[in-house]
Structure formats: C-alpha cells, structure tokens
Structure 1
C-alpha cells in the first residue's frame, strides 16, 4: 500500500486558497470584468523558445491529431476579445514541461486578465489594487514600487541593458561568479539579460512590497508593443514580491503581420536550438487580422502568490498534490 497518498499542504492553506480565489472574483466583479473559460487542449501553442510544452494525441478516426496543453490561455482569450467579449479574466490551470522545483510545478494555477482600453500604466494600477487587496487582511505590504527595467538593471549591475556588448557582459559574468553565463548565453542578448537579471537583480526586488518593473528591452517580448517613445523597449511589466516573480503583463500587440513575423523568428530560434517543434496558432493570427481592440493583459501565478500569503518556503506547501504526489 502506498504511504504518500496524503496532500502536501495543510488544510489551512486549502482554506486560504479558497479565500484568495473568492477575493479575486469579487475584485473583477466590482469592475464588470467577465469571467471566462477557454480550452486547456488546443491545436496551437506558443512559440516562445523559453517554454517547453506537453503534447497529447487525439485519436479521431481516420487519423490522429496532435494537441497541446496550454502554457497560458492568452491566445484563446484574445480571440474572445476580438469577437467582442470586452474585458475578461480567467482562473485556470496551465502546463509547462520541464519545470519543477521550489517555485515550479508543471501543472499550476494561473490568473489572467485583459482590460480593453487600458494602456500599461492603467494595467499597473489594476495590479497594485488587486495585490493590495489580497494582502490587506493577511500581511499588509509597504507602498508599491515602480522602476524602469533600465534603471533597476543598471542600479544592481552597472550594465546598460539596452546596449549589448559581448565583451562587457562576459567580463561582468566572470567578475560576479557567473562564469557559466558565457557558454550558456553566447551572443544572445535576451539570454544574457534573463540570466543576469534573475541572479543579480531579482533577489533585491519588492522587500515586503509589490515591485513593478516596466519597459523591458525589445529583445525580450514577443507579445508586447514597441514603446511609442523609445523603440529599444516594449510596453511590458513584471511583478515581484520578496524577490519572487509573480506576474508578467503587456500593452498588447495588435498588428497581425508583426505578430506573425515574431512567431516565425521564434520558430527559427527553436529549430536552431533543436527544441521541440511548435505550431504557430493560425486562429490567433486570424483574430488579430479581424481586429483586436487596444488592451492590456496580465498573468499571475496564483500558487506563488499563495506561497507569499502563507509564508510558505515551497510551492509543494500550497498544493494538495504536486507532481510527485499526483
């Protein structure tokens, strides 16, 4: 008889999760944002080279079809917006292969929402209001912090993230106990930024406060708009509390031709790195061609948020049955 049948999280964390979900639904109901559901299985999937995905076979006679477990409900939600849904949100499961650890489980709970007519500053205000509400009765946070990516990256590294110098980045890595970065990142600016940011910048962000970092370098986003004032950055924001990344949001790209080109570029990168083949979501591109209203969207990992709300050390402490117990 198996002895590991019990959940890994205490009952009080199950109750806290239920309270959190109820508060989120109340927040969006007050703002007339519609709750929706979209498929977990789809014929298309994102092309981001940083993400690995799960596939399954759909046995529909006379042939099998390959379907993908979604890494995010983003494409389907934007199709709803293009069809006239207005502002929407969703609490759903998402799946990412190869991700397991203190902050990762391959199956996780995601809150994703889109506000029609919102630009990035409006979305950031929305995030601050929601996070403040969720922490208010549990462990109130200090005042929300907002930093540009360029400012915060330079503060902790001395490097300019908008100007890539292979020699300078290599010298920084060797001088700051990151020698593996040279072989891992090569001449890929985006990889350098990801690695240095995660090791040298992120741990400092949001000490008992919500920290929002905005204006990411243009090489780091396939779904955000290029900033109208500075073509070197995109209208993207990420959320951090106590050094933990919680969410990622954009002032959404609506140009179908530009989006299709970015997908093609990412598919080329996947081939160059010998990553599993992805499939460009033609229905999503068609929705953009039909016309996606101006909107901004955010995705927040609710398991990580619950970790912070409950002072838990590991994601296993807030999941009933993580992958090792599933």
Structure 2
C-alpha cells in the first residue's frame, strides 16, 4: 500500500499560494467569507448529480443526510437574510465521479453578488483569473447555439432524428432515445466541450432552460427561451458556472419536483427537497452567483493533465 500523497510538495505550495490570493481578492472587495454546513437533511434533485448520503443520529434517532454537492442552498439562506455579498471556499461531494478531471470530494469556490448582472460577474471573474494567471485576461464569448454551428445543428430547432444522425456520423453510438436534451448533451460533451477555451478562456452563454434549474430565463433575439447562465471553459475544461439567480420560491419548488419526477423515471432515488431554501428564496436580493472548481483552476494554471496532482489525496487513496 502506498501511503504517499499523489501531489508533490511544490504543487501543494503553489496551491496554497493560489488559495491565499483568492482570499485576498475577496478581502480587498469587502466580500464576507462564510461557512455553511457540509451535511444537510436535503439533497440535490439535479437529475444527473448524485449526492453522497451519510447516516447519523440526532436526538437518538437514525437519520439519513447528504453531503452537499455545492454550498449554494445554505449560502442563499444567508444571502436572503444578510443581503450582503458573500463567498465560501469549501469541500463538496458528488458520488460516482472519478477520472482525470473528477474526484468524489473536491474544492469549490462560490460567491454571490447582490445587484450584479452576469456581465458584471463575468468582469469580476476575469479579474480573479487574471490574478491567478498573473496576466490580463480577455474572455471569448460564445452562445450555446453558436457552439453547435460547426456541427450543422441548431440546438433549439433541430429534430431528434437530426441530432441522432449527427452523433452517428461522428461514430457516437450511444442511444438517448427520445431525450432531446440528452442528445444535445451527448454531442456537446463529445464534440464541442473538448475544444472550448483552447485559444482564449471562453464564456459560453444562453443555455437551454433544461440545463440551468436555478437560473432566470429570457428570450433571445430569435425568440428562443434561454437560461441566464454562463460557463467558463479553459483548455477544454469547465472551470466555473454562473447564474442570474432565480428568486421565486414557487417556481423553484416546481422545478425541484420536475427534477424528482425525471429521477424517478430514470430509476434514480428521489431526493428530499430543501424547503428552507424555498422559504428563503422569495427574500433573495436580485443577484448573480457563481461556482468555480478550485482543483480544475489549479490544473489549468499549472498545466496539469490529471486532477490527482491538484489534490493532496484523492478519494480512492483516502
């Protein structure tokens, strides 16, 4: 058995420097650092994210809880009451994730900016990335629709048959049946995502609403309903995910129930809904929020090809 960490001391020192730079960045902007529970009574209803369950006892009663997949729900409860900009650096957990870009436990930076739109948040993200990379950062901007243009696909109007034919023509033989968004996700992950951010860090915007459960929606110039969301890609890696946050508890509850219905259809466990978030949601200030993967950011900043070198000890060696 090899007890040694996968990460070198030199990389650990570089990572510590990056974390210190991040904290100083937010201190300089008077953004409050917060800590919220890792263990929750509610889980994530997202159809394709698996929460890690945890058994514990409360008042002598056996309880099943969940390790958070993101600090978002609890942070929004703070935001609804305190109404000030906040950030958090913490460990998060997603089950069944392991590979050169994934680990079950990873580090997330999340922050919320009242009265910021997505453009202002993108500018702030650019400032932070520029500090980490020690150079001025210019983002390339691309809409979700534009990213499919090279495939001859329009993600909002192409038929399932057209999506299936495109997959087959690129030797992708998986069958997503009548799941239209599933076909789009398949084409995106295999043919588009690996090439994003190869020249410049790229902000992808205007996603289908089905891909952004907690974001507001608007109609684009062509009349298609899109989510007010962007993702940052660097060298083919998704680094950050931002929303113009939905502040409508009734709508959010409906989306969570729809998620659970889809989970049931796919044979996935139904997740307890965070009713504390639902009650807090109506008091959220107008704001944008963003989650950033620290380990992946460190990977691209150090030109690492495997996440095991960005994390001191990965889950399979813990």
Alignment TM-score, normalising by the size of structure 1: 0.94
Aligned-pair CA distance for 1:275: 0.5
User: Which of 37, 45, 48 is equivalent to 2:46?
Assistant: 48
Secondary structure of the structure 2 residue equivalent to 1:9: coil
Q: Which runs of 5+ in 2 are unaligned?
A: none
Offset of residue 118 of structure 1: 0.8
3-state SS of paired residue (1:263): helix
Question: Which stretch shifts more, 270-279 or 92-101?
Answer: 270-279
Please say which of residues 226-235 and 197-206 is displaced more in the overlay.
226-235
Q: Which of 182, 193, 214 in structure 2 is aligned with 1:202?
A: 193
Report Cα offsets for 1:261-305 as digits up to 9, x if no partner. 00010000010011122111000001013x110110111110111
**Partner residue, 1:274:** 267
Count matched residues. Answer: 316
Give the structure 1 partner of residue 278 of structure 2.
285
Residue in 2 that maps onto 1:303: 295
**Matched residue, 1:264:** 257
The equivalent of 1:253 in structure 2 is 246
Residue 142 (structure 2) aligned to one of 126, 143, 147: 147
Q: Cα distance, 1:130 vs. partner? A: 1.0
1:177 to partner: Cα distance: 1.3
1:109 aligns with 2:98: no
Aligned to 2:214: 223
SS for the counterpart of 1:115 is: strand
Task: State the 4+ residue runs in structure 1 displaced beyond 4 angstroms.
Answer: 228-231
SS of the residue aligned with 1:99?
coil
What RMSD in Å do the two structures reach over aligned CA positions? 1.4
Distance 2:255 2:293 in 1: 25
SS at structure 1 position matched to 2:241:
strand
CA contact (8 A) 1:218 1:231 kept: no
Gaps of 5+ in 1: none
Offset of residue 85 of structure 1: 4.1
CA contact (8 A) 1:45 1:68 kept: yes
For the residue of structure 2 that corresponds to 1:187, the secondary structure is coil
Secondary structure of the residue aligned to 2:54 is strand
Contact 1:120 1:251 in 2 (8 A): yes
Give the whole-Å Cα distance in 2 for the aligned partners of 1:34 and 1:228.
34
